[in-house]
């Protein structure tokens, strides 16, 4: 099958050299049985490439299973992939086949493979190397003949250096790498994709398809599209439904782009890392550090305000601080001759700093909860409320994986 034939069959729009190279690689590797690792940002269409590889292979009439590794809780992912025996854990009322057993003779697509726990990575490596696996709760080794295609939007070199992903598994999966370019590197394809989506939605909703003016096309090509093809498709659908005018100019288009479409730089994507037993999730640590830095900044701002008030209050300025009673009484005796005639009687919890002296770093201690757990619960609750309980959107907002958010919800007993 030719390159154009593959594009037409799988609905791929574009003429970018980077896209063509990725497609040609997929076409060449499809007839073999070697493992493939597809990398690219979220929304670039990585699953389409796994389908191309499966449909152009000798396994096309066998089972094809797509698994989102990031959406399966850590406690059940081994059972999902490899199956389990009856009674192997609480709730295992009967034996169950895993995806690798079901897909025997076919292809299994592991999306977000970098989210796999380390112990599951060991099991996966054994399947890839020997074709053998053991069900949860069993001692019997089973064999399977499965072609594995994996995908990730994570920087794998960084994940390996941080101990989040096994280096030997990476090299086993990465026999043939396929890199899908982001939409911002395929600018000439953006307008073509929008026209296709607009035509499809016009037919779907039985209305004329929308058209872009020249300035709208230029704005669309200059925008970074951090959500890639998925975001572009969503924008095309929104415009098709909401706009009465079928000709869309740049001013109208800006209402559908974050920050009015000002961003023309690559988006910084949060690097989500897989969890490992006994280790804290990297994204969780980033969230905790952010909370601590915000708290520290607030306290420093409060210190500055208090010191400015002290500096501007004149020679009778008094700085309040919490100290031990013995220290306060000694300070009281030291300064009594200076202020004794002013009619001012310092209270035991006051500290006085004389004019002309170098002010000490005095401040009022502010009682504030430093519990990371409380702040984390608050942030997670706000994210869930903001996105109306949609866990995937809330996890993206917090910069953590969906599995991590699922575990936190159970840990904090959220409704």
Residue 160: HSE in the Cβ half-sphere, 13 Å Cα cutoff? 9
Domain count, the chain: 3
Final residue of a structural domain among 155, 181, 207: 181
CATH code where residue 256 lies: 1.10.8.60
pLDDT confidence bin for 128, thresholds 50/70/90: very high
pLDDT at site 397: 80
- pLDDT tens per residue across span 356-371: 444 444 444 445 555 6
pLDDT confidence bin for 353, thresholds 50/70/90: very low
- For residues 16 and 136, membership in a common domain is answered with yes
> Which residue matches tokens 């058209």?
211
pLDDT at site 332: 45
pLDDT at site 261: 61
- For residues 198 and 106, membership in a common domain is answered with no
- pLDDT tens per residue across span 231-251: 999 999 999 999 989 999 999
Phi, psi of 148 (to 5 degrees): -105, 125
d(CA 23, CA 20): 5
Q: Which residues lie below 8 Å from residue 379, measured CB to CB, with a gap of 6+?
A: 287, 291, 398
pLDDT at site 266: 43
- For residues 131 and 114, membership in a common domain is answered with yes
- pLDDT tens per residue across span 54-78: 999 999 999 999 999 999 998 899 9
Pick the closest to residue 231 from 267, 180, 273, 272 (CA basis).
267
Q: Is 248 helix (H, G, I), strand (E, B) or coil?
A: strand
Final residue of a structural domain among 127, 146, 181: 181
pLDDT at site 378: 81
323 lies in some domain: no
pLDDT confidence bin for 25, thresholds 50/70/90: very high
Residue 72: give the domain boundaries.
3-181
pLDDT confidence bin for 309, thresholds 50/70/90: low
400 lies in some domain: yes
Residue 204 has pLDDT above 50, yes or no: yes
175 lies in some domain: yes
What single-letter DSSP state applies at residue 341? G
- For residues 28 and 171, membership in a common domain is answered with yes
Q: H or E element: which one contains 67?
A: strand 64-68
pLDDT at site 288: 60
d(CA 248, CA 213): 6
Final residue of a structural domain among 124, 151, 181: 181
296 lies in some domain: no
- For residues 43 and 134, membership in a common domain is answered with yes
Q: What Cα–Cα distance (Å) separates residue 194 from each residue in 27, 97, 198?
A: 26, 42, 6
- For residues 203 and 242, membership in a common domain is answered with yes
- For residues 126 and 196, membership in a common domain is answered with no
Q: Rounded to the nearest 5 degrees, what angle is found at the Cα of 222, between the Cα atoms of 221 and 224? A: 100
Q: What Cα–Cα distance (Å) separates residue 49 from each residue in 7, 140, 147, 178, 301?
A: 11, 34, 14, 9, 52
- For residues 255 and 199, membership in a common domain is answered with yes
């Amino acid at each position: 099958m030719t390159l154009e034939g593959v594009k037409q069959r799988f609905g791929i729009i574009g003429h970018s050299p980077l896209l063509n190279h990725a497609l040609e690689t997929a076409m060449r590797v499809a007839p073999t049985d070697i493992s493939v690792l597809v990398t690219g940002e979220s929304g670039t269409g990585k699953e389409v490439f796994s389908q191309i590889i499966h449909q152009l292979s000798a396994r096309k009439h066998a089972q094809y299973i797509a698994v989102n590794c990031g959406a399966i809780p850590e406690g059940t992912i081994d059972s999902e992939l490899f199956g389990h025996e009856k009674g192997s854990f609480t709730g295992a009322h009967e034996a169950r086949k895993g995806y690798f057993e079901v897909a025997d003779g076919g292809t299994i697509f592991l999306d977000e493979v970098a989210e796999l726990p380390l112990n599951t990575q060991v099991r996966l490596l054994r399947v890839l190397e020997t074709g053998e696996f053991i069900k949860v709760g069993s001692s019997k080794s089973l064999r399977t003949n499965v072609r594995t295609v994996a995908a990730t939007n994570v920087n794998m070199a960084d994940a390996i250096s941080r101990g989040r992903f096994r280096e030997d598994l990476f090299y086993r999966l990465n026999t043939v790498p396929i890199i899908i370019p982001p939409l911002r590197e395929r600018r000439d394809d953006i307008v073509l994709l929008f026209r296709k989506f607009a035509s499809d939605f016009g037919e779907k909703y039985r209305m004329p398809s929308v058209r872009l003016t020249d300035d709208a096309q230029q704005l669309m090509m200059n925008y970074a599209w951090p959500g890639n093809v998925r975001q572009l498709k969503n924008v095309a659908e929104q415009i098709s439904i909401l706009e009465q005018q079928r000709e869309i100019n740049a001013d109208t288009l800006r209402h559908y782009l974050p920050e009015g479409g000002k961003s023309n730089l690559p988006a910084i994507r949060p690097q989500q890392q897989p969890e490992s037993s006994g280790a804290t999730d990297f994204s969780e640590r980033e969230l905790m550090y952010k909370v601590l830095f915000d708290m520290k900044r607030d306290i420093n701002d409060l210190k500055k305000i208090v010191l400015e008030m002290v500096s501007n209050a004149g020679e009778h300025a008094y700085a309040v601080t919490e100290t031990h009673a013995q220290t306060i009484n000694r300070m009281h005796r030291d300064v009594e001759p200076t202020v004794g005639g002013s009619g001012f009687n310092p209270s035991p919890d006051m500290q006085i700093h004389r004019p002309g002296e170098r002010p000490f770093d005095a401040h009022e201690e502010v009682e504030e909860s430093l519990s990371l757990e409380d702040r984390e619960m608050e942030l997670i609750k706000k994210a869930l409320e903001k996105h109306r309980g949609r866990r995937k959107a809330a996890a993206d907002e917090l910069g953590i994986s969906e599995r991590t958010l699922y575990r936190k919800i159970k840990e904090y007993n959220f409704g």
